[in-house]
């Protein structure tokens, strides 16, 4: 069935309600819009199901959510794990509450117990809850940091991590097998509760989650002492973060926590920001204004589902608030926690630090210094969770820290997804520790660079929307894959990795080996002098992503080198696409 036939079916079939049909009939003259809504079905990518809210197979709506949930239910029933139940949470986005209840009721209609949060909660708490309640799976309704028109559907398995291969493919096959929307089972909320299938959960889980986080603090006395002086500005960017973040910090002894008032309440329209993403400096506008007003030491922002954290820290020498990348903030936390664990004699001998192939090489330097194994995985925190699960099953390695450059890390093994709430806590603890030494967080960052070298990274995206855009992205990857690139900017290419083809080519010797990574559409260039570049299409957005990193002797040179490398890589990719 082509997209026009599918569109006609949605406009005419009794499977769809009148509101959906009305929305679709309003675009009957817009062939391009119809094609974009119906040329494909939403698919699970690195972050599950995600798309623009609206009617159509390529949209987030009650039908696509229903089909995904019925498919998930069928899979759970096949596994025979329905009695363990499924935990469900949601963020502040439009339709999140409705989609979460719908998900719970469809599961209940299939005889599967559902634990639904009474109100919105962060992603990391959902991951923790799956493990804590012994659920077979979890669902988080969120589109993370995407613009307001998006929503999404993340599926977790019993270890608390997002689904990985082959389970992800098995689940999507079950979703595709749901041919008719009328096959989606239904039950009322009242009947689900009466049958004991729907259980509403809330503060009792908050208490357990926060207790685990507080127990992860390494220097509680210093935090209580310095917490009387440290000034912190925090914004949840209209999302889930402040359901628990402010409470956590105050219970740990921080007396000067300023939550940005205009952004403290959940709001799926995100009225004060164009893009609720802590990776974007513009999202910090109100937080930085408040920081200047109260003379804050640290400025923190979490995205709507509170798995990512952005940070600015005050440099008291200049009075300037310094922006941290995801690599910088995560590795500042890593250096602080690992150094303190070593000092206290609690750093495991078989410890591992896990990062992704597009994250900073500084992670390798830190791991080497503390005699930890540094394990690199593909992008997506679910791949970090996969390594954690294997280590847990084999009892051969101990998780110490994991992160990815996209502003997310996890400080302990209580969950299996990045945790912006724990990162807020850990950075505030580090700030208290360094403050006791007369240092700022920015001083601590410079100390790290002086110790290991000035590592600098950049990421840039080339956006191509719609059907034509998807084809352009495909062509870009094909051109890059089939072109022998021996030099990027001022750097010679040492090795070339094609993860999809599972090959690593040594450009000096011509030797070809395997990547030992799962098949994925990723190209990686190892360059001389500890520099590198990587390119991959996004799994959830219409863009191709370019990553790169360098190492230099000082900050000025590092800034210059990373800019040169970024421009060189952009030129190669864009010219190659012509």
Cβ-based neighbour number of residue 569 at 10 Å? 22
Angle at 554 between CA 551 and CA 560, to 5 degrees: 70
pLDDT one-digit tens code per residue, 296-353? 999 999 999 999 999 999 999 999 999 999 999 999 999 999 999 999 999 999 999 9
* Statement: residue 176 has pLDDT above 90: no
CATH 3.30.310.50 range(s) for the chain read 454-576
Plot region of 502 (φ>0 → left; ψ -120 to 50 → alpha; else → beta):
left
pLDDT-based confidence at residue 41 (cuts at 50, 70, 90): confident
Starting from the edge strand earliest in sequence, which strands make up the sheet with 86-90, in order? 49-52, 150-157, 137-141, 86-90, 114-117, 198-201
Helix, strand, coil share of the chain (percent; to 5): 40, 20, 35
Summarize the confidence of residues 466-480 as an average pLDDT: 91
Summarize the confidence of residues 109-117 as an average pLDDT: 98
Q: Give pLDDT, residue 577.
A: 45
Summarize the confidence of residues 223-246 as an average pLDDT: 98
Candidates 573, 330, 335; CA nearest to 475 is 573
264 is catalytic: no
Query: What is 454-576's CATH superfamily?
Result: Alpha-D-phosphohexomutase, C-terminal domain (3.30.310.50)
pTM of the predicted model as reported, rounded to 2 decimal places? 0.94
CA distance 22 to 552: 59
Cβ-based neighbour number of residue 507 at 10 Å? 17
Q: Give pLDDT, residue 308.
A: 97
Candidates 281, 300, 331, 302; CA nearest to 231 is 300
* Statement: residue 489 has pLDDT above 80: yes
CATH architecture of 40-201: 3-Layer(aba) Sandwich (3.40)
Pick the CATH number of 210-323 from 1.10.10.10, 3.40.1190.20, 1.10.10.60, 3.40.120.10: 3.40.120.10
Q: Give pLDDT, residue 138.
A: 98
Summarize the confidence of residues 159-185 as an average pLDDT: 91
pLDDT one-digit tens code per residue, 68-106? 999 999 999 999 999 999 999 999 999 999 999 999 999
Averaged pLDDT score across all residues of the chain: 95
Q: How far is CA 280 from CA 227, 312, 567, in A?
A: 28, 12, 20
Angle at 274 between CA 117 and CA 40, to 5 degrees: 70
- Six-digit token string for 554: 């000082």
pLDDT-based confidence at residue 45 (cuts at 50, 70, 90): low
Using an 8 Å Cβ cutoff, are 137 and 161 in contact?
no
Candidates 536, 517, 524; CA nearest to 498 is 524
Q: Give pLDDT, residue 47.
A: 57
Strand pairing class (114-117; 49-52) = unpaired
Summarize the confidence of residues 138-148 as an average pLDDT: 94
CATH 3.40.120.10 range(s) for the chain read 40-201, 210-323
Using an 8 Å Cβ cutoff, are 493 and 572 in contact?
no
Summarize the confidence of residues 433-449 as an average pLDDT: 98
Q: Give pLDDT, residue 578.
A: 39
Q: Judging by beta carbons within 10 Å of its beta carbon (0-12, 13-18, 19+), is residue 446 exposed, middle or buried? A: middle
- Six-digit token string for 298: 């640290």
Candidates 187, 177, 188, 180; CA nearest to 14 is 180
CA distance 394 to 387: 11
pLDDT one-digit tens code per residue, 504-551? 999 999 999 999 999 999 999 999 999 999 999 987 678 999 999 999
Cβ-based neighbour number of residue 294 at 10 Å? 12
- Six-digit token string for 193: 């509760």
Using an 8 Å Cβ cutoff, are 335 and 448 in contact?
yes
Using an 8 Å Cβ cutoff, are 268 and 109 in contact?
no
Candidates 133, 137, 130, 141; CA nearest to 157 is 137
Task: Tell me which of 92, 144, 360, 558 is the catalytic residue.
Answer: 144
Summarize the confidence of residues 146-170 as an average pLDDT: 93
**Three-state DSSP state, 190:** helix
């Amino acid at each position: 069935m082509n997209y026009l036939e599918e569109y006609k079916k949605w406009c005419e079939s009794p499977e769809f309600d009148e509101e959906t049909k009305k929305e679709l009939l309003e675009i009957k003259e817009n062939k391009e819009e119809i094609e974009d809504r119906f040329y494909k079905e939403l698919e699970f990518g690195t972050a599950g199901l995600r798309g623009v809210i609206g009617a159509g197979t390529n949209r987030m709506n009650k039908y696509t959510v229903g089909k995904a949930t019925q498919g998930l239910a069928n899979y759970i029933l096949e596994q025979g794990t329905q009695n363990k139940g499924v935990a469900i949470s949601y963020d502040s986005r439009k339709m999140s509450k409705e989609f979460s209840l719908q998900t719970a009721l469809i599961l209940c209609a299939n005889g599967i117990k559902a634990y639904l949060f009474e109100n919105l909660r962060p992603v990391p708490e959902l991951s923790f809850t799956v493990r804590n309640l012994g659920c077979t799976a979890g669902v988080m309704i969120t589109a993370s940091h995407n613009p307001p028109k998006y929503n999404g559907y993340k599926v977790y398995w019993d270890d608390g991590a997002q689904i990985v291969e082959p389970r992800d493919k098995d689940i999507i096959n079950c979703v595709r097998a749901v041919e008719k929307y009328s096959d989606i089972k239904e039950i009322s909320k009242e009947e689900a509760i009466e049958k004991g299938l729907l259980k509403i959960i809330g503060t009792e889980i908050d208490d357990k989650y926060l207790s685990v986080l507080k127990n992860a603090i390494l220097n509680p006395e210093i935090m209580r002492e310095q917490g009387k002086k440290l000034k912190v500005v925090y914004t949840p960017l209209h999302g889930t973060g402040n359901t628990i973040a402010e409470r956590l910090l105050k219970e740990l002894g921080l007396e000067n926590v300023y939550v940005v008032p205009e952004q403290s309440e959940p709001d799926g329209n995100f009225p004060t920001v164009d893009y609720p993403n802590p990776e974007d400096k513009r999202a910090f506008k109100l937080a930085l204004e408040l920081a200047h007003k109260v003379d804050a030491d640290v400025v923190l922002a979490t995205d709507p589902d509170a798995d990512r954290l952005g940070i600015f820290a005050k440099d008291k020498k200049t009075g300037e608030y310094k922006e941290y990348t995801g690599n910088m903030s995560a590795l500042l936390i890593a250096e602080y926690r690992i150094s303190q664990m070593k000092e206290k004699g609690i750093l495991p001998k078989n410890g591992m630090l896990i990062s992704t192939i597009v994250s900073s090489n500084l992670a390798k330097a830190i791991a080497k210094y503390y005699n930890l194994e540094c394990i690199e995985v593909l992008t997506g925190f679910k791949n970090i969770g996969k390594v954690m699960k294997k280590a847990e099953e084999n009892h051969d390695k101990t998780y110490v820290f994991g992160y990815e450059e996209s502003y997310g890390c996890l400080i302990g093994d209580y969950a299996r997804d990045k945790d912006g709430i724990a990162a807020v806590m850990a950075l505030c603890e580090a700030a208290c520790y360094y403050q006791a030494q007369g240092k700022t967080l920015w001083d601590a960052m410079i100390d790290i660079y002086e110790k290991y070298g000035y590592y600098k990274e950049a990421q840039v995206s080339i956006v191509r929307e719609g059907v034509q855009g998807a084809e352009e992205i495909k062509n870009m990857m094909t051109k890059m894959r089939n072109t022998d690139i021996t030099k990027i900017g001022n750097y010679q290419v040492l090795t070339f990795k094609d993860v999809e083809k599972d090959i690593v080519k040594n450009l000096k010797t011509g030797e070809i080996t395997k990547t030992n990574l799962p098949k994925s559409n990723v190209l990686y260039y190892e360059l001389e002098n500890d520099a590198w570049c990587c390119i991959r299409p996004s799994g959830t957005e219409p863009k191709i992503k370019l990553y790169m990193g360098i190492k230099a002797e000082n900050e000025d040179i590092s800034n210059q080198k990373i800019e040169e490398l970024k421009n060189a890589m952009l030129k190669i990719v864009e010219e190659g696409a012509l």
